[in-house]
Amino acid sequence: GGTGAAGLAKLLGTDPQNGLPADPPTDFRQREETYGGNYFAEKKLKSYLSYVWDALHDKILLMLICMAVAELIVNMAKDEKRKDGWIEPVAIFTTVIIIVNVQSFLDWKRERMFDSLSQKLDASNLRFVIRGGKQVSLEDKDICVGDIIAFNAHMAATIPADGILLSGENVKMNESALTGEPEPIVKTAQKPYILSGTTVNAGQGKMLVIAVGESSVAGKIKKEVYDADEDEGSPLFHKLDTMAKYVGQLGMVVAVVCFTAMLISKLVQGKDVAETITETLIYAIGILAVAIPEGLPLALTISLAFSSNRMSEEQNLVKTLDSCETMGSATTICTDKTGTLTANRMTVRAAWLARELFEADVVHHQPVGPIVKANSSVSEDVKALCGNLISVCTMDESQLLPVAEDGTQDFVGNPTECALLKFASDLGYDFDKIRKETVGRSDETTTKGSSKAFSSARKMMSWAVPREDGTYRVYAKGASEIILGRVASVMDATGVIHPMEDSERGNLTDKVINKFAKDAMRTIALAFKDVEGFPTDDLDEEIQNADGTAAFCAETGLTLVGIVGIEDPLRKEVPGAIQKCYAAGIDVRMVTGDNIATAVAIAKSAGILRNEHFDEAGEVKPKRAMEGKVFRKMVHKYTATGEALFQQEAFDEIWPYLRVLARSSPEDKLVLAKGLNGSKLYQDHDMVSVLKKEHNIEIFPDRQVVAMTGDGTNDAPALKAADIGFAMGQSGTQIAKDAANIILLDDNFASIVTAAKWGRNVFDSIQKFLQFQLTVNIAILCVALIVAFSDLGGREMEPPLTVLQMLWLNLIMDSLASIALASEPPTDEQLKRPPVNRSDFIITEQMWYNMIGQAGLQVIVIAVILFRPELLPDCDDGTGPGSKHYTMVFNAFVYMQLFNEFNARKLRGELNVFSGIQNNRMFFVISFTTIVLQFLMGQFGGKVLKIHPDGLNVGQWAVCIGIGLFPLPWQQFLNLVRKSVVLVGKSGSGASIIELRKVGGGKSRIDHKGLPTRDCSSAIQRRHSKEIAITKSKSAW
């Protein structure tokens, strides 16, 4: 059946050219059973019972269980306690079961949410596979042994399975991930083995799949580490975890003090030693259970999981959870143009072909291709040359799909190439037919031709094919100024070739290239060259590539055929999204491969370049828009050997001004990411002041947090170096997706703004829960201390909250409140303030006012009704657990927490604490449910919760709920006090309270809503012109 790769293909039932006969193959299941599937057995999710077992290892819960057992034994040993002595221990067991199950359910649900995200991520990884003679896009799991995969260094660079090279041109593989060898490995018929997990450095080709999944080389390695747990938590998670430990330690101190004071008091009163120790210890453990805010890390986890799932619905597929949180601190977005700012639906709108200029008929919506075809001044030979050049000199994956019934036609592959193929189709040339019939380009004859794929270093590509007379024709296309610099001649409309004069070259630059570019069109030049023998890789000593390396001789001395202007319309939502970025204090920088004129035109339309970036003559001010080669020379110092050394000081002189980087390379993106991250310009107060005064440029008072977009393989290092890397889900390569933190499913810049909003919302959600949680902690610890020392002072008094009541409160705080407050959806208001400063303390000044003020109210109210029971209606049955007095104290305290949860939704002194509640159904449901449950507990809890067996009457309930509502109006009073202090600070009379100072080179300010902010743009300056320039006090920040 043949030898080599072709013979192996036949043994596997595969046609070397057309692949497996059908899609999907009729024997797909049989192949999976025989050779395995191209996936791993799904990682087994932990069962619900496993989470229950883990939750039961909580030390506080174990202590409660042990003490409940001890109490049960002590009570059962006494005749007078035997009848009812079992109720509290059993109730504690029941409460522990409820807490364990709630915690277990949340963790169980969270893992399944993450698994759902993982499956969405896998579905975004598509490969080009040949089946039935057609190229199809498949997920990794749908690839089987015997399939033929098409790969290249641009769009399909990651290898998903082991295989053998069937055909290819200049294929070089990066196998460092497997072997550690940094040098690219050349693949030929003699060295055909291509391994999964490696990437294509250069060239393109097709491979026969021979091993998949766990049977592949990478699969065997991955299987060994598949079960490794890599989740170490985000920085904010560790910060909250640490805070929880500190609060827990404070709770431990209070619990010990209360235990000691109450124990001494009861022993002095002559109470039973064993019973006293047991009861007092259980009460102390109850205080500890409430005091330790284990819900803090839980709230972050819930918020991140909730945000990640909702973000996927809004076209953001989150790979790493902490990137959600980090995006809330983003200060700079470095974005691509094509497909991100623009619609990625490219069309040839204008063409200069063989010295004739053509433009699309905008009025009649007629593209330029049919206009050129109908023009008789351009010979058919020239049109044929143009059609053949485009069809041959484009990548395999760039294709036009058949026209649909509604007349639309979809593109597959590189959008720029697809626009050229559409242009050739309008001229009357079938790209697929030309590719199949051209020797040196068809799949069967690729070895007779020679291709040099597009690279960012060369900004062009070429393809040489043999001619009938024995010579070779090199077709070339690329950036117009690059090609124009390499042409020696030009073809006219009749097909006659003329020498290219410098005057004509200059005329083309001014009247064609610049004209197209100023109309926001990308310019691509088409050229060819006939050579005697097979094109070699000899280098030209004089002509250089865009990156300064020597050019191939075969790609110089070209004949210019035409220059086309390709329009990629700006997405309609982009200008508004960019305006939101500037209003949010996020700088936007466009990094593009287009020439400077096209880049400036697009940036101006998008709103990246605004009026202040242009001088009076309408020209872009210095440093606002630069070309990559100029940028590289300015930020690098070159050694005698030509090695480029990055200069941070030189970079710091450029980046505050820079808004557009044109004709850039992926290396420029990496320099931007590292340079912005490494900049400490904010510490240079003099420079910051100059930038503000002379250029109205505000520098963020901390390290820049960089978001970077990318779609190409070479973008991966920059995506990794940035704080948040965004890969394009539709046009991005697999390597870019692997390197990114978030994948934009719609390739749309507006989705990045959505991610920023969700990122800020994560931080806000944590602050809301923290505000609620610490208020309860402060209040309950203060009440416990007051009761303990009152008891010690001779006033015999039982604690107003029993252990079970505190555990119920703990359930409300840690589990239910974390869900309610962590599920708050974002609002546009979050994009009207500066980014979150990651070095700021998580508790703001306004939060301190809220927490201490609310806790103070609760402590005073509870102390008054605790020590003055006569103020409460119908409390003549005495005091202590089980009395109406203590029942009302319990209800009043819990309802104050529940209604304060509404206050906790607002962080900046907003008047309407109910605004937006209709958008958070989860909060409404949980709040309503806990309010109703508290009523049931307070009315029918009986001996279990140690409340009055008859519950409360209507009047008593009215008083409890009325007291519970106190925090709502009290919050308005706190807001008034807070604003009064700010006004005092402004007038100068309160200088001892709030001082005017500089923080990190910029003024820290608080707006009329109590919002720490800064001037990040003229938009913010205008909007906050009436704000008060003050700084955060040390105690609060």
Q: Encode burial over 436-467: b for 16+ CB neighbours within 10 A, e otherwise.
A: eebebbbbeebeebbbbbbbbebbbbbbbbbe
Taking 90 as the threshold, does the pLDDT of residue 784 lie above it?
no
Taking 50 as the threshold, does the pLDDT of residue 494 lie above it?
yes
What single string gives the DSSP state of each residue in 237-250?
HHHHHHHHHHHHHH
Residue 191 CA to residue 187 CA, distance in Å, equals: 5
Please state the separation of Cα 1013 from the chain's center in Å. 23
Q: Phi/psi at 1027 (nearest 5 deg)?
A: -75, 165
What one-character DSSP code corresponds to residue 20? B
What is the mean pLDDT of the segment spanning 665-682?
91
Residue 589 CA to residue 337 CA, distance in Å, equals: 10
What's the token pair of residue 49?
Answer: 């019972």
First to last CA, the chain: 77
Residue 307 CA to residue 148 CA, distance in Å, equals: 39
pLDDT band at 854 (very low <50, low <70, confident <90, very high): very high
pLDDT band at 475 (very low <50, low <70, confident <90, very high): very high
Taking 50 as the threshold, does the pLDDT of residue 886 lie above it?
yes
Task: Classify residue 182 as exposed, middle or buried by CB count within 10 Å of its CB (0-12, 13-18, 19+).
Answer: exposed
Taking 90 as the threshold, does the pLDDT of residue 178 lie above it?
no
Please state the separation of Cα 563 from the chain's center in Å. 39
Please state the separation of Cα 864 from the chain's center in Å. 50
Closest CA to 794 of 392, 156, 261, 204: 261
What single string gives the DSSP state of each residue in 617-661?
TSPBPTTTEEEHHHHHHHHEEE-TT--EEE-HHHHHTTTTT--EE
pLDDT band at 888 (very low <50, low <70, confident <90, very high): very high
CB atoms within 10 A of CB 432: 12
Instruction: Look over the chain and give the mean of its residue pLDDT values, rounded to a whole number.
Output: 83
pLDDT band at 230 (very low <50, low <70, confident <90, very high): very low
Averaging pLDDT over each range in 481-490, 512-521, 776-785, 807-816, which range is the top one?
481-490
pLDDT of residue 891: 94
Query: 3-class DSSP state for residue 391?
Result: helix
CB atoms within 10 A of CB 615: 10
Residue 591 CA to residue 665 CA, distance in Å, equals: 9
Residue 1003 CA to residue 698 CA, distance in Å, equals: 10
Are 854 and 903 in contact by the 8 Å Cβ rule? The answer is yes
What one-character DSSP code corresponds to residue 106? H
What's the token pair of residue 93?
Answer: 């067991």
Closest CA to 907 of 797, 738, 765, 736: 765
Residue 594 annotated among the catalytic residues of the structure:
no
Residue 764 CA to residue 307 CA, distance in Å, equals: 12
Q: Which of 336, 426, 702, 791 is catalytic?
A: 336
Name 913's Cβ contacts closer than 8 Å, sequence gap at least 6: 902, 903, 905, 906, 968, 971
Taking 50 as the threshold, does the pLDDT of residue 1029 lie above it?
no
Q: Encode burial over 45-83: b for 16+ CB neighbours within 10 A, e otherwise.
A: eeeeeebbeebeebebbebbeebbebbbebbeeeeeeee
Taking 70 as the threshold, does the pLDDT of residue 817 lie above it?
yes
pLDDT of residue 463: 94
Residue 508 CA to residue 499 CA, distance in Å, equals: 14
Residue 713 CA to residue 738 CA, distance in Å, equals: 10
Residue 208 CA to residue 163 CA, distance in Å, equals: 5
Angle at the Cα of 367 from the Cα atoms of 364 and 368, rounded to 5 degrees:
120
pLDDT of residue 183: 72
Residue 722 CA to residue 327 CA, distance in Å, equals: 11
Taking 60 as the threshold, does the pLDDT of residue 1026 lie above it?
no
Taking 60 as the threshold, does the pLDDT of residue 284 lie above it?
yes
Are 921 and 928 in contact by the 8 Å Cβ rule? The answer is no
pLDDT band at 1015 (very low <50, low <70, confident <90, very high): very low
Residue positions counted in the chain: 1037
Residue 125 CA to residue 139 CA, distance in Å, equals: 6
What's the token pair of residue 696?
Answer: 């109205």
Q: How many CA within 13 A on the CB side of residue 127?
A: 25
How would you classify the pairing of strands 706-710 and 332-335?
A: parallel
Q: Where would I find the H helices in 200-293?
A: 217-225, 235-268, 273-291
Taking 60 as the threshold, does the pLDDT of residue 1035 lie above it?
no
Residue 522 CA to residue 416 CA, distance in Å, equals: 9
- 797 has which bridge partners? none
Place of tokens 């690839």: 143
Residues 984-1006: tens digit of each pLDDT = 766 654 433 333 333 333 333 33
Are 422 and 348 in contact by the 8 Å Cβ rule? The answer is yes
pLDDT of residue 154: 65
pLDDT of residue 425: 94
Residue 67 CA to residue 285 CA, distance in Å, equals: 9
Query: 3-class DSSP state for residue 429?
Result: coil
Residues 27-48: tens digit of each pLDDT = 899 999 999 998 876 667 788 8
Residue 854 CA to residue 772 CA, distance in Å, equals: 10
Residue 830 CA to residue 765 CA, distance in Å, equals: 12
Q: Which helix (H) or strand (E) holds 366?
A: none
Taking 70 as the threshold, does the pLDDT of residue 117 lie above it?
no
- 247 has which bridge partners? none
Place of tokens 């006659």: 496
Closest CA to 1029 of 1000, 994, 1001: 994
Taking 90 as the threshold, does the pLDDT of residue 593 lie above it?
no
Q: Encode burial over 257-279: b for 16+ CB neighbours within 10 A, e otherwise.
A: bbbebbbebbeeeeeeeebbbbb
Are 200 and 172 in contact by the 8 Å Cβ rule? The answer is yes
Averaging pLDDT over each range in 259-273, 298-312, 424-438, 779-793, which range is the top one?
424-438
pLDDT of residue 839: 78
What is the mean pLDDT of the segment spanning 373-394?
94
- 562 has which bridge partners? 353, 526
Angle at the Cα of 582 from the Cα atoms of 578 and 585, rounded to 5 degrees:
135
Are 281 and 259 in contact by the 8 Å Cβ rule? The answer is yes
Residues 620-672: tens digit of each pLDDT = 999 999 999 999 999 999 888 878 899 999 999 999 999 999 988 888 999 99
pLDDT of residue 235: 59
Percent with pLDDT over 70 in the chain: 87
Are 793 and 544 in contact by the 8 Å Cβ rule? The answer is no
What's the token pair of residue 969?
Answer: 């109006």
Residue 894 CA to residue 814 CA, distance in Å, equals: 14
Tell me the whole-structure pTM to 2 decimals. 0.73
Taking 60 as the threshold, does the pLDDT of residue 1009 lie above it?
no
